[in-house]
Amino acid sequence: MNCNTKTESTKGVLKRHYGKLAGAACLAVSAAMMAFSGSAHAQKKIELTFSTYLPPSYEYIWKPLENFAKRVEEDSEGRVKINMFHSGQLYDGYEEMAALSRGDIDLTSFNDLYASGALPALNVFTMPFLFDDVKHVQATVDKGILEIDLLQELHDKHDIVVIGTAPWEPYQFFMRDKPLKTADDFKGKIWATTGAIDASAIQLLGGSPTNMSSADLYLSFDRGMIDGTPRPLLTGIGRSLDEVAEHLSIGNFGYAVTFLAVNRQKWESLPEDVQEILKNAAAERDREQVERVERFVEEAIAKFESDGMQVHYIDAENLAEMRARTVSAIEEWAASIPNGDQYLELIEQTRTSK
């Protein structure tokens, strides 16, 4: 027997055996590394830029947005971080929608007052005396008022995807020295207005509108240059109007609505699970804003009363008369846009006071 031959044969067997094991091990390691690499790619961190012209002092708007960003980061387990810029650090209110369309920012929360020039249908929320209260506004949103054509137009013509919608508080009437209780109380008075819609309504009610920024209200009231203005209560507090206006009349004149939106190209680049996280967080933001707005209205009215303002609630009969005298402004708007009648029909269908 040739022992050397046997030894060589055994070595050959062992070499072939362990060579196969080593090859299998290499393949396993390679597969694991590829899987890890794929996982790491899937879990790549995403940073998004959010811009708003509003300062944090507008708490019922800012806090829900801040919590939205936190929810997104928590629900994505740190994969998504939203960098928040406020107080016009990047863009002012008139620039935000265009900046979002261009993709200069990834998200914003623009409001209808600044965007209605590009989208006249958005004026639906500012129509005089059209909505009963904040819940009525939100009910129309929940029932699809934006789906009539606004969301599609924003998507197709402006590269904007809306993921959330929630109202501001309504505009009320600050009066210098005489209360507003009836439709005739508008007549012969000078009114500081914010845009074409409220100016048209004031004219129909017999008043004289003059466009004025909120920064000029205090001095204009103090000097007797204006008799009244329709503004949110938040503006009244921020501009200390209780010091120069004796009366506050509650009539829910008109509303502003905020749209939480994403640039379309950015949205389409995001993984589906991240899109779902953003939509869910946006829905929470909407609910929180509605709750905060309702709470703020109660607290603000109480504050004005405690500061010595006389607060008046316009009764249903006089509100109906104000609506009747301004209905032509609503009809004119509805005739000027596609599907205007559909907007008005949905608003009536969701009205709880009818």
Percent of the chain with pLDDT over 70: 87
Dihedral over Cα of 307, 240, 94, 199: its sign: positive
User: 3-class DSSP state for residue 118?
Assistant: coil
Which residues lie closer than 8 Å to 310 by C-beta, 6 or more apart? 179, 246, 247, 248
Within the chain, residue ranges assigned H as helices are 3-42, 59-75, 96-102, 112-115, 134-142, 150-158, 196-204, 217-222, 233-238, 264-269, 272-306, 316-336, 340-349
Quick one: pLDDT at residue 42? 53
For domain 46-170+256-307, give the fold: D-Maltodextrin-Binding Protein; domain 2 (3.40.190)
Name the pTM for this structure.
Answer: 0.81
- Spatial CA neighbour of 242 closest among 250, 233, 254: 233
| Residue 9 pLDDT > 50 | no
| Residue 124 pLDDT > 50 | yes
pLDDT tens for 183-224 read 999 999 999 998 889 999 999 999 999 999 888 999 999 999
Quick one: pLDDT at residue 111? 87
Average confidence score pLDDT of the chain = 89
Rounded-to-integer distance, Cα 171 and Cα 127, Å: 11
CA 205 to chain centre: 31
| Residue 7 pLDDT > 90 | no
β-pair type (171-175, 160-167): unpaired
Q: Which two tokens stand for residue 352?
A: 């709880």
Q: Is 206 exposed, middle or buried (0-12, 13-18, 19+ CB in 10 A)?
A: middle
Domains of the chain by residue range: 46-170+256-307
Q: What is the DSSP letter of 224?
A: T
| Residue 80 pLDDT > 90 | yes
What is the side-by-side strand order in the sheet with 310-313?
208-211, 190-193, 228-232, 171-175, 247-250, 310-313
- Spatial CA neighbour of 171 closest among 300, 354, 284: 300
Quick one: pLDDT at residue 272? 97
Q: Which two tokens stand for residue 103?
A: 């993709």
| Residue 89 pLDDT > 90 | yes
| Residue 65 pLDDT > 80 | yes
Percent of the chain with pLDDT over 90: 79
Asked if 311 and 248 touch (Cβ cutoff 8 Å), the reply is: yes
| Residue 41 pLDDT > 50 | no
Please state the rounded mean pLDDT for residues 173-178. Answer: 97
pLDDT tens for 283-323 read 999 999 999 999 999 999 999 999 999 999 999 999 999 99
User: 3-class DSSP state for residue 257?
Assistant: strand
